[in-house]
Amino acid sequence: MSAPTIWLDVPGGRLAIEDEGAGPPIVLVHSAIVNRRSWDELTPRLVAGGYRAIGYDMRGFGESTAEAAEFSPRADLLAVMDARGVGKAAVVGNSWGAMNALDTVIEAPDRFVALVWLGGGVGGFEGGNTAEEQALLDAEGKAEEDGNPDLAAELDVQIWVDGVGQSPTRAPAAVRDAVKRMDRELLEPGREYGTNTRLEPRANDRLAELAVPVLAIVGELDTSGTRAAARRLADGAADVRLESWPDVAHMIAMEAPDRVAALMTEFLAPLPRWS
């Protein structure tokens, strides 16, 4: 059962938040094809490990709303922390959420004790794709332009859940179905997400500024660009533990919540407790 939804009004939007457990807080930032429900398997494992897990729907995703206005996703993340009385947090992000989490740690280093980067990106870095990957990405973009959200959602699942070139039975059916359901909702015409303001200078030029330990996990069935971003992060920041898992793709915490929770607990355990 999910925790009660907590509502936070921000300029130009309203964010839906869940706050579970007690102990050092961990904030969870989801990817751009799902919503906060993507953490449903990881959250109870973190809570059982003695942590407080705070998840939220990014602006325009899930239950959160957005107006057609510019906003900073970094400011939204900090607003969630402020609203929940969190001075410092470990932050976990997946995909685009990992890129936003990375940007926020760079912009507000005093608010974070650690970053867990799951199959993410690095702002300003382009890792490149294979021809097969690019063809699927282009087909997904065309399906969106053509007003075919069902096809777009299926292609998103092939790329990000199955892994390009992998069987549709590789990942658990429950994960595949959950991602497709969340993604399909996000592809409805007229859904408003607002306009993100980017971190400037971009994270790619500022990785040396990262002053917290980083755990980066990437799936070897993920796209070439994501795997290249993981290497760029590991090469550019001072304190990065890079884990490359051969049997997962992009939605790592949904595919392997036990392994992610165990590795996070090991990674965070040596840190002085925070709140």
pLDDT, tens only, 188-224: 999 999 999 999 999 999 999 999 999 999 999 999 9
Domain identity same for 117 and 195? yes
Is the pLDDT assigned to residue 111 strictly greater than 90? yes
Looking at residue 44, which CATH number applies to its domain?
3.40.50.1820
* Arithmetic mean of pLDDT over the chain: 97
Domain identity same for 12 and 117? yes
Domain identity same for 112 and 204? yes
Domain identity same for 162 and 138? yes
Torsion (CA) 56, 204, 129, 227 in degrees, nearest 10: -70
Strands 13-20, 52-56: parallel, antiparallel or unpaired by DSSP? antiparallel
Closest Cα partner for 254 from 27, 31, 3?
A: 31
Domain identity same for 97 and 31? yes
pLDDT of residue 250: 98
**Percent of the chain having pLDDT more than 90?**
98
Interior CA angle at 52 toward 236 and 196, to 5°?
A: 50
Domain identity same for 175 and 200? no
Q: Is residue 136 part of a domain?
A: yes
Is the pLDDT assigned to residue 1 strictly greater than 60? no
Q: Is residue 275 part of a domain?
A: no
Handedness of CA 36, 37, 39, 43 (dihedral sign): positive
41-73 pLDDT tens trace = 999 999 999 999 999 999 999 999 999 999 999
- The whole-angstrom separation of Cα 166 and Cα 250 is 12
**Percent of the chain having pLDDT more than 70?**
100
Q: Which domain holds residue 179?
A: 131-186
125-181 pLDDT tens trace = 999 999 999 999 999 999 999 999 999 999 999 999 999 999 999 999 999 999 999
Q: What are phi and psi of 136, to 5 degrees?
A: -70, -40
Is the pLDDT assigned to residue 2 strictly greater than 80? no
